[in-house]
Homo-oligomer: A and B are copies of this chain.
């Protein structure tokens, strides 16, 4: 038996699963046939089927809920994904990531200011209201709410691919991002900067929204760089 076997069968099964989802008109959240039914339909053994399922699960195309079944995954229609295999993020990588966000997010804040409607703006305000309530709370909750603000702003820019890109950048190795970002540590300043970005978006001032988002992200990056070179004693 060769070192690596059945590559073609597993590839073919993955294709057939994707075809089944597509031609069946299944949408994210829809339930798919059971592994028993699938292995009968495709005339393969359960272990072989499972290889294909795990592959699709790893990339968010399907979701396997223990004891419940197989569902179409929320990520199946995305163009861009966060790498699910990242296990360590060093400060240097986070600085590179912030460098990317400094390029991408400011124009999205401008686009959000130009096109968001009243209901969307109200929802964005609610995110920062929630952040305000977490200001004296746990790191994780405040961080998650703040990341929701960045994701929501990106979504209001109105381009799904740009939203996926920002979501991917904020999702990849989230816990370690939070840990490093905590050295930024000035919760109040962070929150005030978010409020001033929101204010510009609500005022439909695209130039100010762009400039404030850029200044905010540059602030975060600068503080992390300084702490790395001169760690607090």
Q: Specify the chain B residue showing the minimal Cβ separation from A88.
A: B22
Q: What 1/0 flags go to A45-70 for Cβ under 8 Å of B?
A: 00110111011111111001111111
Question: Chain B nearest CB: distance from A37 CB in Å?
Answer: 10
Asked if A79 meets B169 with Cβ closer than 8 Å, knowing A4-B68, A7-B66, the reply is yes
Asked if A52 meets B54 with Cβ closer than 8 Å, knowing A61-B85, A159-B100, the reply is yes
Is the C-beta of A87 less than 8 angstroms from some C-beta in chain B?
Answer: yes
Is the C-beta of A96 less than 8 angstroms from some C-beta in chain B?
Answer: yes
A2 to B78, CA, bound (A): 30
Cβ contact within 8 Å between B64 and A7: yes
Cβ contact within 8 Å between A50 and B47: yes
Asked if A10 meets B99 with Cβ closer than 8 Å, knowing A76-B85, A80-B165, A172-B79, the reply is no
Contact of A161 among B18, B69, B76, B169 (CB under 8 A): B169
Cβ contact within 8 Å between B82 and A160: no
Using Cβ atoms and an 8 Å threshold, which residues of chain B touch A48?
A: 47
A19 to B162, CA, bound (A): 32
Using Cβ atoms and an 8 Å threshold, which residues of chain B touch A34?
A: 3
Cβ contact within 8 Å between A80 and B4: no
Is the C-beta of A29 less than 8 angstroms from some C-beta in chain B?
Answer: no
Is the C-beta of A117 less than 8 angstroms from some C-beta in chain B?
Answer: no
Question: Chain B nearest CB: distance from A140 CB in Å?
Answer: 21
Q: What 1/0 flags go to A34-45 for Cβ under 8 Å of B?
A: 110000000000
User: Could you name 10 residue pairs across A and B whose Cβ atoms are closer than 8 Å?
Assistant: A2-B67, A3-B34, A4-B65, A14-B58, A47-B48, A58-B58, A79-B93, A79-B169, A80-B81, A96-B159
List 14 additional A-B contacts (Cβ < 8 Å) besides A18-B87, A103-B162: A3-B34, A3-B68, A18-B85, A22-B87, A55-B55, A59-B83, A59-B85, A79-B169, A79-B172, A80-B83, A96-B159, A96-B160, A103-B111, A103-B159
